[in-house]
């Protein structure tokens, strides 16, 4: 700890012993990183700008200058020209170059302001001029609110800059006397920079109105010469010569108005915020200024000479081409309104056409009480004619177009409303009609499909009902005729067998065989009647019909049945499905009657090659090598049905190990009748 304390003390001592910078040039030479290290500074110089409100000055040491932040309280005896000793630290709070903060100011006396650096508009944006004491020619064109004090707008080479002057009681009067005058501006060139230290603007810190010196003008020999607007800035006068112009106000804007005499029109820039109603006859004293296509007039004095009739706009034909002589003139023309483009502030840009000539009209209008034109309307507009060009040199022959500046509700009159059936509305109506037709066609198509589907369903239901009725009729006929007759024959044979009595005789054996065959016919007939009365294959897929039929039989016999379906079911020919169902039912019958089985497993498998039916039971089984007993036709019938559908019939059985029957019918069989549609 003692070592750390010793090192810290040595570091502080070294810092305290760091020599202070003795010149502003040394301060400005620091990099941004070096300035942020807050090196000590001790400099003497002259205050060339004093801002007590923000506790700061601009200090000039005879060679260069920089901004200094004074540590409060701000000394009351620091004035413009004061000799000051500053002790502080370097920083990068303002501008491009290092400056001084936490400054302790000691007033040493009062001296003369140092000579400024003369600059021109070409030097204005040089970075080295940041915080420098400079002098430049400018024209005072207006005042604005805000800033460090009293803010003047000055024009330098056609660009507007701000000059902040500390506020004093006579500031408005002194500013008015400078308005529209060319002056020598002496002050501090200040930089506006963003967070990345990039220059975004330039302005001036002017210590007082004494540093705004008007240029000497030729004293007129008597009253100011009265000139016509068309005579401004001819060979016998210059922007430094004061003139007097008389005319009629045609349009008034904030800080300016348009003036017309019998020769031409021009813009007059004023310091006063007074409103000069259109029609007022005024006398303007001031200085002419350079502007594209027509000189302007910077007024130092405006007097109302009397009221005149409301100015009559000049009627023009836009199709006559560009007319540079009408620049700044109040004109009137008829045109077709094409559309609107919203511009900045309160301006609305109207896009117009007159014949094959297209132009824009900038409209400043009240927020309410204005009838908005619609595309296609015929308008009559009144406003100031402005010649435009895309060339950097505004020569008459390089004029490319014109625009009209409109002001107020009266500037636009709707002569004729556009027909309701405009092209856009026609397209919209056509689109709606096409959409309605398409919707109707789609609805009709859907309705037709729906009707066709319902018709198909109804036809199917009628067909099924008809088939069902016919099957029921056939079943009744079979039951009332064939089955009754077979029953009678069976009874007669039973009586005959009892009368013969000798079971060993050949007659008795023959009659017994006939009786068994007859009983078999009765069973088949009863099964046929049952199928007719319960048309499962016509109503449902084969798998469902087979499962229901076999489960019902197994349930009656008290036998457990496992029924499985594998693969994707296919729709087969109805006769084929009937044969497979009868084979499955006969196999289950044999397992119950002869094998005395307690469990039967049935598998209906659909593969890529064909359909396979497997029935396996756990009954007593039998020896397949022995011939079929007389009067037993079940196996024979199954083989015959398999042969009819071109299927392979396989039988596996042995005593005590149950029976397994397999029927495989390939889809290539002519009896398969496979349909393209698969069952859901």
Angle at 9 between CA 8 and CA 15, to 5 degrees: 90
Shared domain for 412 and 425, answered yes or no, is no
Shared domain for 563 and 604, answered yes or no, is yes
* Domain termination residue (choose one: 307, 323, 352): 307
The CATH number given to whatever domain includes residue 565 is 3.30.565.10
Give the model's pLDDT for residue 299.
87
In a domain, 3, yes or no: no
Give the model's pLDDT for residue 298.
86
Give which of 585, 620, 605, 593 is closest to 665, Cα–Cα. 605
Residue whose pair of structure tokens reads 């506020």 in the numeric block? 167
For 272, the 3-state DSSP assignment is coil
Give the model's pLDDT for residue 8.
41
Shared domain for 515 and 599, answered yes or no, is no
Shared domain for 547 and 674, answered yes or no, is yes
Give mean pLDDT in consecutive 10-residue pieces for the chain, a chain of 680 residues.
44 59 92 89 94 91 93 90 94 80 91 93 90 93 74 86 88 82 92 82 92 76 86 84 92 89 92 81 89 88 84 90 91 93 74 92 76 87 92 78 90 88 80 93 91 84 70 61 62 69 65 66 61 54 85 86 91 84 87 86 92 92 74 74 90 88 91 58
Paired residues of 290 in beta bridges: none
Shared domain for 677 and 547, answered yes or no, is yes
E strand or H helix at 428, and its extent? helix 423-477
Torsion of CA 32, 38, 43, 45, to 10 degrees: 50
Cα–Cα distance for residue pair 596/614, rounded to 1 Å: 19
Shared domain for 262 and 192, answered yes or no, is no
In a domain, 15, yes or no: no
Angle at 410 between CA 404 and CA 412, to 5 degrees: 50
* Domain termination residue (choose one: 307, 330, 346): 307
Shared domain for 588 and 680, answered yes or no, is yes
Q: How many CB atoms lie under 10 A from the CB of residue 595?
A: 18
Give the model's pLDDT for residue 517.
65
Average pLDDT, the chain: 83
Give the model's pLDDT for residue 157.
84
- Cβ atoms of 624 and 658 within 8 Å: the answer is no
Q: What is the pTM of this model?
A: 0.50
Domain count, the chain: 6
Shared domain for 564 and 677, answered yes or no, is yes
Angle at 253 between CA 249 and CA 257, to 5 degrees: 35
Give which of 197, 187, 167, 170 is closest to 60, Cα–Cα. 187
In a domain, 13, yes or no: no
**What six digits make up the tokens of 239?**
């922007």
Range(s) of the domain holding residue 360: 314-416
Give the model's pLDDT for residue 468.
65
E strand or H helix at 152, and its extent? strand 150-156
Question: How many alpha carbons lie under 13 Å from residue 208 in its C-beta half-sphere?
Answer: 11
* Domain termination residue (choose one: 272, 307, 342): 307
Cα–Cα distance for residue pair 276/566, rounded to 1 Å: 100
**What six digits make up the tokens of 433?**
């009609």
Shared domain for 565 and 672, answered yes or no, is yes
CA distances 350 to 37, 328, 373, Å, are: 58, 19, 9
In a domain, 673, yes or no: yes
């Amino acid at each position: 700890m003692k070592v750390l304390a010793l090192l810290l003390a040595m570091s502080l001592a070294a810092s305290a012993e760091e020599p202070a910078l003795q010149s502003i040039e040394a301060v400005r030479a620091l990099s941004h990183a070096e300035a942020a290290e807050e090196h000590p500074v001790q400099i003497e110089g002259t205050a060339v700008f004093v801002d007590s409100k923000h506790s700061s000055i601009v200090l000039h040491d005879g060679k260069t200058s920089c901004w200094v932040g004074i540590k409060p309280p701000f000394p009351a005896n620091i004035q413009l020209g004061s000799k000051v000793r500053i002790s502080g630290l370097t920083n990068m709070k303002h501008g491009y170059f290092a400056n001084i903060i936490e400054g302790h100011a000691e007033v040493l006396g009062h001296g003369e302001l140092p000579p400024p650096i003369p600059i021109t508009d070409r030097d204005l944006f040089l970075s080295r001029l940041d915080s420098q004491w400079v002098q430049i020619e400018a024209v005072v064109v207006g005042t604005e609110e805000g800033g460090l004090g009293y803010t003047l707008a000055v024009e330098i080479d056609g660009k507007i800059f701000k000059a902040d002057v500390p506020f004093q009681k006579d500031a408005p009067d002194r500013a008015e006397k400078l308005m529209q005058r060319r002056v020598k501006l002496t002050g501090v060139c200040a930089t506006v920079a963003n967070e990345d230290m990039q220059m975004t603007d330039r302005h001036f810190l002017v210590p007082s109105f004494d540093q705004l010196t008007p240029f000497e003008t030729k004293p007129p020999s008597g009253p100011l010469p009265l000139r016509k607007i068309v005579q401004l800035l001819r060979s016998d006068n210059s922007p430094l010569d004061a003139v007097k112009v008389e005319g009629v106000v045609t349009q008034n804007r904030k800080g300016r108005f348009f003036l017309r005499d019998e020769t031409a029109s021009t813009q007059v820039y004023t310091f006063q915020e007074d409103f000069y109603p259109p029609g007022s006859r005024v006398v303007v004293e001031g200085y002419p200024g350079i502007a594209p296509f027509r000189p302007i007039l910077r007024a130092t004095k405006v007097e109302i000479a009397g009221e005149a009739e409301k100015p009559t706009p000049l009627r023009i034909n836009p199709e006559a081409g560009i007319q540079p002589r009408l620049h700044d003139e109040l004109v009137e023309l008829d045109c077709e309104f094409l559309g609107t483009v919203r511009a900045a502030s309160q301006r609305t840009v109207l896009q117009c056409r007159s014949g094959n000539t297209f132009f824009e009209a900038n409209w400043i209008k009240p927020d309410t009480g204005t009838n908005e034109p619609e595309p296609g309307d015929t308008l009559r507009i009144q406003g100031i004619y402005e010649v435009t060009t895309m060339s950097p040199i505004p020569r008459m022959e390089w004029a490319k177009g014109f625009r009209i500046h409109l002001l107020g509700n009266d500037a636009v009159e709707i002569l004729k409303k556009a027909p309701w059936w405009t092209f856009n509305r026609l397209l919209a109506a056509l689109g709606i009609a096409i959409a309605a037709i398409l919707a109707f066609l789609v609805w009709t198509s859907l309705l037709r499909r729906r009707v066709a589907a319902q018709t198909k369903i109804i036809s199917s239901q009628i067909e099924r009902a008809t088939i069902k009725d016919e099957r029921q009729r056939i079943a009744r006929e079979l039951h009332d005729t064939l089955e009754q007759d077979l029953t009678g024959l069976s009874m007669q044979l039973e009586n005959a067998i009892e009368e013969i009595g000798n079971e060993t005789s050949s007659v008795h054996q023959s009659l017994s065989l006939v009786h068994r065959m007859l009983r078999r016919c009765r069973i088949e007939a009863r099964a046929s009647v049952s199928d007719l009365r319960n048309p499962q294959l016509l109503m449902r897929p084969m798998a469902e019909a087979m499962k229901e039929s076999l489960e019902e039989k197994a349930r009656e016999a008290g036998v457990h049945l496992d029924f499985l379906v594998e693969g994707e079911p296919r729709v087969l020919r109805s006769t084929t499905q009937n044969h497979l169902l009868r084979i499955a039912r006969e196999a289950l019958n044999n397992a119950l009657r002869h094998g005395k089985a307690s469990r039967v497993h049935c598998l209906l498998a659909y593969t890529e090659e064909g359909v396979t039916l497997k029935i396996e039971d756990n009954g007593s089984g039998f020896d397949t090598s022995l011939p079929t007993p007389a009067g037993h036709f079940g196996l024979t019938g199954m083989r015959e049905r398999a042969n009819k559908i071109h299927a392979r019939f396989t039988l596996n059985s042995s005593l005590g190990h149950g029976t397994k029957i397999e029927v495989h019918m390939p889809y290539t069989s002519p009896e398969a009748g496979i349909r393209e549609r698969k069952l859901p």
